[in-house]
Amino acid sequence: MQENIDKQSGGSTSKAKVTCPYCFSIDTEFYSLFGQQLLTVQYYCNTCHTPFEYIKDDDVLREGEAAFRATSS
């Protein structure tokens, strides 16, 4: 499964967009902090309506933490 990150322009504060490995859309959203493995997170593609796993990195972990805080408030 190919996983790409497209960085938006705007310097070091830019947010990484996770690209769907099935339809290559960047209209994806964070779904779950843990996938089937501890090193993966789950995303959901709003274009092809498919959940997929993505390997964690610092940008992904920050996005997951922000999403968790938004839903628990």
How many folded domains does the chain comprise? 1
- pLDDT at residue 38 in the model: 86
- Helix, strand or coil, per DSSP, at residue 3: coil
Task: Please state, in angstroms and rounded to a whole number, the distance separating the CA atoms of residues 51 and 16.
Answer: 18
Task: Please report whether residue 14 resides in a domain.
Answer: no
- pLDDT at residue 14 in the model: 42
Q: Which domain holds residue 54?
A: 1-6+28-73
Task: Please state, in angstroms and rounded to a whole number, the distance separating the CA atoms of residues 41 and 35.
Answer: 5
Task: Please report whether residue 55 resides in a domain.
Answer: yes
- pLDDT at residue 16 in the model: 67
Per-block mean pLDDT, blocks of 10 residues, the chain (73 long):
40 65 96 88 96 87 77 75
Task: Please report whether residue 66 resides in a domain.
Answer: yes
- pLDDT at residue 42 in the model: 94
Q: Which among 14, 37, 41 has a CA at the least distance from the CA of 29?
A: 41
Strand 5-7 relative to strand 28-32: parallel, antiparallel, unpaired? Answer: unpaired
Residue with tokens 């493995």: 37
Task: Please state, in angstroms and rounded to a whole number, the distance separating the CA atoms of residues 68 and 44.
Answer: 15
- pLDDT at residue 13 in the model: 39
- pLDDT at residue 45 in the model: 98
